[in-house]
Amino acid sequence: MRFKALLLTAMLALCTTAQAQFFWPEDPEQRSDAQTLWTLFDDTYGQGDYEAAKPFLEKIVEKYPTLGTAVYINAIKVWKDTYRNEKDASLKAAAADRIMELYELRYKNFPDEKAKVIDRQAIDAFQYYYLAKPKTQELLDLFSEAYKMKGNNAYYPLGRYYMNIAALAYTRNTGITDEEILKIYDTCTRHIDFQTAKAKSENKSLKRYVSIKEFIDKKLVDLNLIDCEFIVEKLVPEFEQNPDDAELANKIFVYAYEGGCTDAEWFVTAAERVFESDPQYGVGYLLGAKFGAEKNFDKSKDYFMRAAEVTDDNTDKAKAIKQVAVTERIQKNFPEAKKYALQAAEVDPTLKEEMFTLIGDMIMGSLECDAKKSQVDDRARYILAYDYYMRGGNTMKASSASEQFPTMGDIFTANKEEGQSVFVGCWIQQNVKLKKRPDQ
């Protein structure tokens, strides 16, 4: 029986070893002891009895700390289970402390592991200790170290917790400075922007990433650190000296946007630099609107079109193209306005009524197109406007247009017939079938 038990122990240990790398003691007696302890742990752990598994695991950590990383991975899982289920506050706190100790033991015995999981450790530590004011600086240091080791490749939610503890440090008057808060904000923002771009390239849902970005931004806004005076005094002079500094431009853009300083000329300059370095729809659309408000229509159209080019969202794309159509109309470039209105309606059919109405309005208002030689020829454009209104579903404006159709007498006088094709010239350049006024 003893032989069978030893054989079973050895077989179980070997099966486990196949799944994880172990460094068994060379001494036969210690090796047997380590294998037995691991087998006993693995058996109870596998059955979900974490409390029963815990003593075996603790003995392994104590006696054979370099046995393998699996020891610490599983030990942390076991103690996390204790933390989650423990009702007694002191025992819960003890479980949290033990988890942090196990992370440190893992690093001590396997130094390369720190770069792998320090970001997870930081998030765990935040969840255990964020309410404890004396732990605030310790948490800040841990997050700082995590970012130094992993950079933008850190686990994507890391910035949410780092910015949270930074905000708590500020409200707790721990001595953290405005500059340190802003530096942490920049670190967290660059990280989530990087992770968002990565997720997008992998066709993942961006919902959780957007939520984290919004959380980080809100934490900064809530601290009321940024105002226009701060930007003008501390950042704008530096930007004027280094206008090609995309990172500084982005900082100014974000801070000014959050602080409501978007009317300044330096904001537009910074936004242009941001768009050049990293074309994003929101920035391009904002610039289009800004230049449009300043009546710099050529630049406005350019940024709206560039914004449309960098988004895959049809709603956003059509919204930007619509603004180009509207701007072309303002400039009386009616053929171009019509072209972009049709594009916008094609990209986003929900804009169909608005865009076809815009075309109909342009045709209706083009009095300069009347040659004043034939009532039929001059009034044919109202028929065309009617057709566009109807295509867009705007029956009210279509009805108004129909009241301007040529009369039956006009058609007879021009020696034409209803249904006959008539060419509408000027900028419109389109054929239309003759219709008489509905009341005749």
pTM: 0.66
pLDDT given for residue 374 in this prediction: 87
How many Å apart are CA 102 and CA 94, to the nearest integer?
Answer: 12
pLDDT given for residue 251 in this prediction: 87
pLDDT given for residue 271 in this prediction: 96
pLDDT given for residue 230 in this prediction: 84
Contact in structure between 322 and 351 (CB atoms under 8 Å): yes
How many Å apart are CA 394 and CA 409, to the nearest integer?
Answer: 28
Contact in structure between 120 and 103 (CB atoms under 8 Å): no
pLDDT given for residue 434 in this prediction: 94
- Tally Cβ neighbours within 10 Å of residue 118: 23
Return the residue matching tokens 């083009």.
366
* Tens-level pLDDT at each residue, the chain (440 residues): 333 333 444 444 444 444 568 999 999 999 999 999 999 999 999 898 999 999 999 999 999 999 999 999 999 999 999 999 999 999 999 999 999 999 999 999 999 999 999 999 999 999 999 999 999 999 999 999 999 999 999 999 999 999 999 999 999 999 999 889 989 998 999 999 999 999 989 999 999 999 999 999 889 888 988 888 889 988 999 999 999 999 899 889 988 987 788 988 999 999 999 999 999 999 999 999 999 999 999 999 999 999 999 999 999 999 999 999 999 999 999 999 999 999 999 999 999 999 999 999 999 999 999 888 888 989 999 999 999 999 999 999 999 999 999 999 989 988 999 999 999 999 999 999 999 998 87
How many Å apart are CA 253 and CA 187, to the nearest integer?
Answer: 16
